[in-house]
Amino acid sequence: MRLTVITVGGKMPAWVNEGVAEYGRRLPREIRLEWCELPLARRGRDTSPEQLRQREGELILKALPAGDTVIALDVRGTAWSTERLARELTDWQMDGTNVSLLIGGPDGLSEDCLQRARQRWSLSALTLPHPLVRVLLAEQVYRAWTITAGHPYHRA
């Protein structure tokens, strides 16, 4: 199974890349966590947030692997517990489904991206910085896998 995180944003600090790589290494071979980083749309004085979302959304939709189940990370989405993510991960594996997780730019995801998504997942009601979201997401995927595998990492 492949989980592709499609994200819009700039270059991340080393600690983000190290954290994401560490959790990716901990996952078993049958779960591949891949990252597709797309550039921010060019910002200008006369460019509206909607125009930026639209431009970035077009890039995201072009980058989507064909046939993937799409999950949009969106503050207005449904909050998932770690146990819920573990159940989703199990279902995706059992169905042989590859999944793309979408992280929009600073202005969020376009309406087209949100419409394309099967589900909308809110990591938190808080506004989180993109670097932290990447590490948090990688850790939660790893934690969800440990639950499904009966690994002692998750002790809730």
The full set of domain ranges for the chain reads: 2-149
By percentage, how much of the chain surpasses pLDDT 90? Answer: 90
pTM, two decimals, is 0.94
- The H-assigned helical ranges of 11-81 are 14-26, 49-63
Residue whose C-alpha is closest to residue 101's, from 72, 128, 79, 140: 72
Q: Which residues contact 150 (CB under 8 A, 6 or more apart)?
A: none
- DSSP helix/strand/coil, 58: helix
pLDDT digits (tens, 9 = 90+) for 19-58: 999 999 999 999 999 999 999 999 888 999 999 999 999 9
Q: What number does CATH give the domain 2-149? A: 3.40.1280.10
pLDDT at 156 (0 to 100)? 67
